[in-house]
Structure 1
Amino acid sequence: MKVLSFGSLNFDHVYQMDHFVMPKETTSSLSYSRGFGGKGLNQSIALAKSGLDVYHAGRVGFDGQPFIDYLQEYGVKVDYLKKDEETATGHAIIQVSHSENCIILYGGANQLIDEAQIDEVLTHFEKGDLLLIQNEISSLTYLITKAHEKGLRIAFNTAPMDEKIFGYPLDLIDIFVVNEVEGKGLANVSSDQIEDVIAGLQKAYPSKEIILTVGSQGSYYISGDRVIHQDAYRIEAVDTTAAGDTFTGFYLASILRGETVGNALRIAAKASSITVTKEGAAKSIPTLEQVVESMKNV
């Protein structure tokens, strides 16, 4: 079985802030750094660091060669990563303040993924392989439909959550991965209570597997009437940018290695807790060995 992460690649422009910028306000950052990011890249690296062989498909611009090199450094296979010489790579403007973040995305080359590229990539995969996607690339309806026709299992991290989500063939998704905001939107509920969000997801997607992460309240596995809760590990967070992507990668990798849902949630929670103690996105993701060692000390 092969794992295909078909997702975004962004340059991350990270500004450490005393507070998030308000309308009409001009302010200075405490510090600035540029790194490699994009939910697709982060999740591919999380899968690779958790010990899986993973292929990343996507698109970078004329300035994107560093992404190809960076992914390869972590053992991610880039056979199906396309470079566009006339477009810039996507980027993200990330403000970080008191361990929270807000993000503005520019799609760039991520929005040039087309049916021809999807068709070519999918010729290398077959029934039973896993496809991981996010809502940061173009042609998702076509990708979901064609992957389902080939018999791939599809995991969909519905971030960023917007109205486009409901135009996709969600009935073809096998696993949804959402945080509390995305879960609330996906379930179409107005309540902020986690119990109401879970009930809404169960009602809207009774036959799907759903992973719901809720920050300091931990995470939930939802499948029909079955609900499993995992507490969050208590740590001093520095930067939560890659927390969700780390959780996604380590959870899926653990399941694919044959772990139970409960163990997979614990491993993913521990990996995510390590990630948030460091600044940055992809570079903050731990290895499986680091996660296992850390769990011995709990």
Structure 2
Amino acid sequence: MEFTNHTTIAGFFLVGLTDRPEFQPLIFSLFFSIYLVTILGNLLIILAVSSDLHLHTPMYFFLSSLSFTDICTSTTTIPKVLVNIQAQDHSISFAGCLTQVCFVLGFGGLESCLLAAMAYDRYVAICHPLRYTAIMHPCLCVLMVIMSLLISTMNALLHSLMLLTLSFCTYLEIPHFFCELVQVMKMACSDINTNNLLIYTVTTVFAGVPLSGIIFSYIQIVSSILRIPTMKGRYKAFSTCGSHLSVVSLFYGTAFGVYMSSEVAGSSTKNVVASMMYIVIPQMLNPFIYSLRNREMKGALGRLLLGRPSFSPILSC
């Protein structure tokens, strides 16, 4: 097999969901609809939180940050799919592919960290309600988001820079609709053992630590809720966690499903469809989960659509 140095690669070829031309208009409509709903839904969440003074709390600050992250994640992948289908050209440059890998990893890691921060916020609100205002200070919330962004960016840059050390073969057809790290590595003709070791190590730490924090927080939350004497009080306390728990289950459940499908399934099409479940679908459903299950959010959205809200910063140190 002929080897090609990465510096001379013209680009990769993204197969997408299917290479059959008769299905391309349907796929274009599907991705365009998903992207439109994702952008509008998450933008409405951000505007509602910004415009309603009642929602200027740490929980909704993290929620608006999550919505912004969802917009960025979808924008990293879907527009390129739409352009490729419209132009009938499924190629992507090496630099573009590397950039996409970096942004997908960065925003995916940021979402994981934000979900952990939201779990901590719910833990303090339920387990230490009298100290909630003192602990969840606006400056701490901003610092948590900034630290999450820095950590996820460093992780994304590390994996992306490691790709630069690889040499790639002449056959550069990626059976995916975006440049996924593992799929790009499979195109390499040089040794990828170091890259694989880095993926397993960093993923274990980067996904394990936030997930462990979420699990610990909810163990403490459930323990505190069970000590509430009335059923009404228990329901009211746990209802504040329902939306977050649904989003966490969707995010980690789909990511785990993709990992399992890639290990078991032999069909690349199944892997592509499974990847949609964590890189596209959660970002579209998150606004619905929070708006439909949260009375305060529904009220804020109603006032935003019908009234004249006054915008102000969500949190201020």
Output the TM-score relative to the length of structure 1. 0.25
Which has a greater percent of strand? 1
- Larger C-alpha radius of gyration, 1 or 2? 2
- Higher relative CO (Cα under 8 Å, sequence separation at least 6) belongs to 2
Which has a greater percent of helix? 2
Output the TM-score relative to the length of structure 2. 0.24
